[in-house]
């Protein structure tokens, strides 16, 4: 299993924290040339030190097409190709229906949906046969959690993209799949749980495995979908949620 990604060029949007950071570490440890993005410059610098292994950071917002152009221009100059895209950058915000404001709707759709579309579309000229695209979905896309309708709809859109893009890209030998985490112990979620009494117990009770996921467990699923081990898997959604959606 070691060095599965030796010399592969891997792009991870939102690679400075949480799932993206853990995934960047895992790819870099297996020999990949990893490119990460994120909006906050200081966080990006910290992540580069944390990941090591020659990782490259390109500051940028996935909802700004010119930032994505800069990212891919740099990769074109450095390597001339992309082998794996993990379109991970995403934001979660809540609002009850009846109280959905324009800026909430636009921000969540711009980052989660438009950002994913252009992250993938702008990578395509650099991708060749055997390439793999992994999209970050969410169990929320298949559920009806209170006040999460806009976020959940963005993740349902992501799940749909993997179906159509599998068809659109089949002639090029590029696979597209979704990894859908359930509740993952990212730094952001840890902070939320510390200030919301009872939330962790509710989550643990709702998840069949009785615990939340660690970020490296999501990374392992992303790497499976990115690697040749999943060579006949396409248009799929891999839930990494301790059985939450399925059971």
Ligand X SMILES: NC(=O)c1ccc[n+]([C@@H]2O[C@H](COP(=O)([O-])OP(=O)(O)OC[C@H]3O[C@@H](n4cnc5c(N)ncnc54)[C@H](OP(=O)(O)O)[C@@H]3O)[C@@H](O)[C@H]2O)c1
Question: Which lies closer to ligand X via its Cβ, residue 113 or residue 126?
Answer: 113
Q: Quick check: is 151 catalytic?
A: yes
Write down the catalytic residue from 35, 72, 118, 151: 151
Crossing angle of the two packed helices 102-109 and 149-168, in degrees rounded to 10: 30
Question: Which lies closer to ligand X via its Cβ, residue 37 or residue 142?
Answer: 37
Question: Which lies closer to ligand X via its Cβ, residue 23 or residue 230?
Answer: 23
120 in contact with ligand X (CB under 6 A): no
3-state secondary structure of 128: strand
Residue 90: CB atoms within 10 Å: 25
CB of residue 89 to ligand X, shortest distance in Å:
4
CB of residue 43 to ligand X, shortest distance in Å:
5
What lies within 8 Å, CB to CB, of 159 at 6+ separation is 137, 141, 142, 178, 180, 237
Binder among 46, 61, 93, 217 for ligand X (CB under 6 A)? 61
CB of residue 163 to ligand X, shortest distance in Å:
18
Q: Which of 83, 91, 94 is nearest to 110 (CA)?
A: 91
18 in contact with ligand X (CB under 6 A): yes
38 in contact with ligand X (CB under 6 A): yes
Question: Which lies closer to ligand X via its Cβ, residue 12 or residue 126?
Answer: 12
Q: Terminus-to-terminus CA distance in the chain, angstroms?
A: 30
Binder among 189, 207, 221, 225 for ligand X (CB under 6 A)? 189
**CA separation (Å) from 118 to 19, 133, 201?**
20, 13, 38
Binder among 10, 75, 82, 111 for ligand X (CB under 6 A)? 111
**Cα within 13 Å of Cα(165), Cβ side:** 23
Q: How many residues bind ligand X (CB under 6 A)?
A: 31
Could you give phi then psi for residue 192, rounded to 5 degrees? Answer: -60, -45
Q: Say if CB 247 and CB 54 are below 8 A apart.
A: no
143 in contact with ligand X (CB under 6 A): no
Binder among 53, 79, 92, 224 for ligand X (CB under 6 A)? 92
Q: Return the active site residues.
A: 151
Residues forming contacts to ligand X in the complex (CB under 6 A) are 13-20, 37-40, 43, 61-63, 88-92, 111, 115, 136, 138, 181, 183-184, 186, 188-189
């Amino acid at each position: 299993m070691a060095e599965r990604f030796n010399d592969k060029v891997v792009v991870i949007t939102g690679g400075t924290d949480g799932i993206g950071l853990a995934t960047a570490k895992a790819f870099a440890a297996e020999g990949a040339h990893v490119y990460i993005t994120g909006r906050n410059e200081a966080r990006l610098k910290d992540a580069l030190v944390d990941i090591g292994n020659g990782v490259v950071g390109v500051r940028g917002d996935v909802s700004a097409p010119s930032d994505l152009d800069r990212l891919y221009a740099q990769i074109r100059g450095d390597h001339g190709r992309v082998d794996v895209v993990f379109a991970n950058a995403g934001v979660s915000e809540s609002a009850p229906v009846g109280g959905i404001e324009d800026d909430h709707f636009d921000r969540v759709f711009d980052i989660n949906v438009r950002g994913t579309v252009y992250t993938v579309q702008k990578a395509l000229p650099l991708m060749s046969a055997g390439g793999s695209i992994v999209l970050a979905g969410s169990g929320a896309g298949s559920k009806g959690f209170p006040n999460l309708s806009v976020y959940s709809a963005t993740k349902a859109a992501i799940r749909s993209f993997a179906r159509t893009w599998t068809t659109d890209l089949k002639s090029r030998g590029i696979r597209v799949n979704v990894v859908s985490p359930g509740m993952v112990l990212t730094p952001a979620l840890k902070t939320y749980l510390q200030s919301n009494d009872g939330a962790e117990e509710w989550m643990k009770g709702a998840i069949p495995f009785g615990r939340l996921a660690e970020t490296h467990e999501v990374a392992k699923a992303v790497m499976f979908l990115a690697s040749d081990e999943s060579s006949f898997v396409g248009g799929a959604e891999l839930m990494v949620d301790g059985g939450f959606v399925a059971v």
